[in-house]
Amino acid sequence: MKEKKIVTVDHIQKAVAAVKAERPAYEELLGFYEKIFLAQEKAKEQTQLKSIQIPDELLSIKREEGFPLIDRADFAVDVKASETLLRELCRVAVETNEVLAEAGTKLVDALDQEALQVSTLFSKILSEDSQGFQKVAQELGVDEKILAFFSYNSLRPSLSLCAEQLAGYFDEDKLWKKGYCPVCGSPPALSILRDEGNRFLVCSFCGHEWHTQRIYCPFCNNQDHTKLHYFFGEEEKHYRVNVCDVCKKYLKTVDARELKHPIYFLLEQVSTLHLDLLAREQGLESGSPLWLQI
Ligand SMILES: [Zn+2]
Ligand SMILES: [Zn+2]
């Protein structure tokens, strides 16, 4: 049985402070992300959503076939709360560095002048309309990755509340042996080892965490242990990079049993960027999507 995830502002602040002390090189970056995490937690309290109902018949078909409960386009979003958060993230960006400040200013100006509807931005992310999204980025003159980062991070409170509600449809003790999220079908962003070495994957889109089998590649379902390996960063045996020799993708893994600080998966994701660099140097590709790569 996994421990319950309780995320509070205090939990986030403690985790960020601990990682900053462990890895001073990340201090500036984590200062930026801490503001984002805290703004998201605050926005979560203001977010109001209707719960998503899955009819029994559909639910049993999805279970039998191993389909996720919903598509990304089906997520409920509190557009007003997300727009408020988007504007707050732009404000944080303006304080951060020139590149982000320029993008944040352009985005707020476009919203103020009604040259951009925030719902357009959100719907392009949710419907996975990458061409449409690219077009909006070009028209705004904002880097596509930065725009994806702002947009996705503004949606996160709604996505995570939906995922928490939908998790009620699952039996938590049952393994989900697929490499995609049982809630929304997205690929994992991180793998976490918990008590007795049980492996959990965290969804890159909605943040849902699912208990899964130990040995396989979630991106191509390769289960041949001779074609799966991992490497460590220097002096940090509790962080590793799992590599699949078949699809050449990698996934970072955190061993929560060895961590000296509280775990917050978004923090682990950004405070292990040195492992992404190591993996890319080896010609490996991240399985994580665009909105997590800034
Ligand atoms: Zn998901
Ligand atoms: Zn693979």
Place of tokens 């352009």: 106
Radius of gyration of the chain (CA): 19
Q: Where are the domain boundaries for CATH 3.90.1670.10 in the chain?
A: 173-292
Contact assessment for residue 189 and residue 264, using Cβ atoms and an 8 Å cutoff: no
pLDDT at 291: 56
Task: Give me ligand 1 centre to Cα 88, in Å.
Answer: 25
pLDDT for 250-284, tens place per residue?
A: 999 999 999 888 899 999 999 999 999 999 999 99
Whole-number Å distance, alpha carbon 213 to ligand 2 midpoint, is 14
Portion of the chain with pLDDT greater than 70, in percent? 96
Q: What sign for the dihedral angle of Cα 238, 267, 265, 14?
A: positive
- Which ligand has the shortest distance to the CA of 187? 1
**pTM: predicted TM-score of the whole model, two decimal places:** 0.93
**What CATH number matches the domain at 173-292, 3.10.105.10, 3.30.2130.10, 3.30.390.30, 3.90.1670.10?**
3.90.1670.10
- 2 pLDDT above the threshold of 50: no
CA of 94 to the centre of ligand 1 (A): 30
Ligand approaching nearest to the C-alpha of 218: 2
223 Cα–ligand 2 center, Å: 9
**216 alpha carbon, closest ligand:** 2
Average pLDDT over residues 177-185: 95
CA of 188 to the centre of ligand 2 (A): 13
Centre of ligand 2 to C-alpha 21, Å, is 34
Residue 3's pLDDT band (cuts 50, 70, 90): very low
pLDDT in tens, 112-146: 999 999 999 999 999 989 899 999 999 999 999 99
